[in-house]
Amino acid sequence: MKSLATIVQPSMLVVLVFLAGASAAGQELSRDRVLQELRSRAGFTEQEIERLEKGETVIRELERTVKREVAMIGAVKLGYSFELAKKGLDRTVDSQRRESAREYGEFSAAPRAEDMSGLVFDEGDLDDLRTCRVNDCKWNLSEEIIGTLKSEVDWNAADAPEKASAVLKRELASYLRAYIANGDGSLMVYRDTDLRVGLADEYSDLLSEIPFIDGFAGRFADHARSYPAASPDGVSSVFNWSEVKVGLKPVVMITHTLAYEPGSEAMYSVSKQVFANHYFDSTLGITALFGFPGNGERPASYLVFISRSRASALRGRLGGLIRGLIEDQAEGKMEEFLEDAKKYTALASANVGSAEQRELLREAENAPFIGSRTFIILVVASAAVLTALLFLLLRKRAS
């Protein structure tokens, strides 16, 4: 929402669908099925399939459902086993997070304000809340939180910023608890401008079709749509917060990631942004990882990453100009992510040969690891950086 300065995959991320298992129809997972899904659901041409099979990264735009959306898919073939591809992907996720997030943390099973003890809101951002009102606020917030800030924070007091920070953390933790209990019906309706953006409506649309998951893990797709209902065995659910430097302002994001690993040669995950205080309306990340033993030939894995992000500034007169810049940024970050996955998967291989490669592998293995399932929104965010000029060109929200 606000003057857009970024969007991306996906989140900026993008976040993780690991494809796998048997479909609802009971069909066996195969390379042919994966490639056919790329053709039928993502529009990959035969030339792009050939490039993919040669080990090149292939990225293309997806058909968007609304004007303010940027949607992309990327895929790469990794010439290694599923287990090595998982290690490479984990290291890629960690590397991307380190690069993009200034602060990061995970919520407990019952989110509390204390879970955000490491989050320090930007001083200027807190000061912006002094004049925050429904239909006129510099933060993406619900009417309820805007009202609570107005009633509980004395902006003339010396401790106003600390009080506002405490209120925000308490209210965001309460918001997450309601979402965990009730699902999308408890998601925010942003009331920062006269254009209401309801996240429940956003994700009803974005999740109406889930490429790769619908065709390979139907019960997991149903769970992603109806969370917290209909959860199959083997699903994990993680909430994380992060602060990412985007353009001129830091963005505080809260992300929910559902991960599913039904078999030994595939994984899925769906990640959605349930809060962002600036720029983003909504972001959905889907990533898929499939592994095939090779049956006498060299094993191979396929990594698929889908990102769909929405921002209201793309609706306005400058939307076309902004879209081109954003899509270039998003494509570049998606390519970087997929190429890093290739690099780290190769480094994870037992066949790493040169001293230089072994040293890179040791550095990667010795680096502290911060989770593996909650990266999508950070990938999305890192691809969302626009220049300061765009901030100056854009109105707070395009009409």
What are the extents of the domains in the chain? 31-393
- Burial per residue of 128-141, b for 16 or more beta-carbon CB atoms within 10 angstroms, e otherwise: bbeebeeeebbbbb
Start-end of H helices in 66-211: 82-100, 123-128, 143-152, 160-182, 199-206
Report the chain's C-alpha Rg in angstroms: 21
Which is nearest to 206 in space by CA: 323, 308, 305? 308
The number of CA neighbours under 13 Å toward the Cβ of 105 is 14
pLDDT tens per residue, the chain (399 residues)?
333 333 333 333 333 333 333 333 334 788 999 999 999 989 999 999 999 999 999 999 998 878 888 899 999 999 898 989 988 988 888 887 777 667 889 999 999 999 999 999 989 999 999 999 999 999 999 999 999 999 999 999 999 999 999 999 999 999 999 999 999 999 999 999 888 999 999 999 999 999 999 989 999 999 999 999 989 999 999 999 998 876 667 889 999 999 999 877 889 999 999 999 988 889 999 989 999 987 667 889 999 999 998 887 676 665 566 677 777 777 888 898 899 999 999 888 854 555 545 554 555 444 433 333 334 444 444 334 332 333 333 433 333
Cβ atoms of 106 and 371 closer than 8 Å? yes
Residues in the chain: 399
Residue 45 CB partners (closer than 8 Å, separation 6+): 39
pLDDT in tens, 120-176: 998 999 999 999 999 999 999 999 999 999 999 999 999 999 999 999 999 999 999
